[in-house]
Structure 1
Amino acid sequence: MNAINGEVQVRDNRAADRFEIEVEGHLAFAQYVLAPDHIIFTHTEVPPELGGRGLATKLVEAGLASARQRGLSVIPRCSVFGRYMMKHPETHDLMAPEIRTTLGLPV
């Protein structure tokens, strides 16, 4: 398990354009497309062997934290990111303005 002090570590594999967690020889990831002013999250995958451990949430949180740190707006094309962001109003400011408009959120 890739962990420090019992915490799962998420790495940004920029060469592969994805955030990754490796556990017990299995890889969970959140794929993205990076642009100068935004990041598009396109797909999140957690192998069945790793299901139920909250790894998708950790990938989303790491991806959103990275976007915030880098000053990027987020386009959540992946349903995992979209659902998380809708349930967490503190992330709405990260959504690209066109996404907030489409969802009826303040711009």
Structure 2
Amino acid sequence: MNEEYVNLPLVKNQEKNRFELKIGDYTVFIDYKERSRKIWLIHTESPEELKGKGAATAVIEKTLAYIEENGYKLIPICPVVVAYLKRHTDWNRILDASVEPF
């Protein structure tokens, strides 16, 4: 994760069902669904102004840490999250049993 994002807080916006990371005037987010201690990560979005600056990676890493720290299991649907997990297979430890490890 880029150093500039390390201390930014991840917000679990339950009204909008998304994890958010506010970077300056912009918000990067991952839409999610939650049920029975499982979280489905559905869609990641980063404003055009932040593309290529590691913002999506930062929100993914912070979201995965949240899932692990809070005892949830992950079901990744979002292609961006899936691509991240394929490069960082150590996160297989939080995958739900119904998901094939990467």
TM-score calculated relative to the size of structure 1: 0.80
Report % sequence identity: 27
Aligned to 1:42: 42
TM-score calculated relative to the size of structure 2: 0.83
Shift of 1:40: 0.1
Deviation track 1:41-88 (CA, whole Å, cap 9, x = no partner) reads 000000111111111111111111111112111011001111111111
- 8 Å CA contact 1:33, 1:39 repeated in 2: yes
Instruction: Name which structure has the greater RCO, CA cutoff 8 Å, separation 6+.
Output: 2
Q: Which amino acid aligns with 1:92?
A: N
Bigger Cα Rg:
1
- 8 Å CA contact 1:10, 1:58 repeated in 2: no
1:18 aligns with 2:18: yes
- 8 Å CA contact 2:76, 2:82 repeated in 1: yes
Q: Which runs of 5+ in 1 are unaligned?
A: none
Q: Which runs of 5+ in 2 are unaligned?
A: none
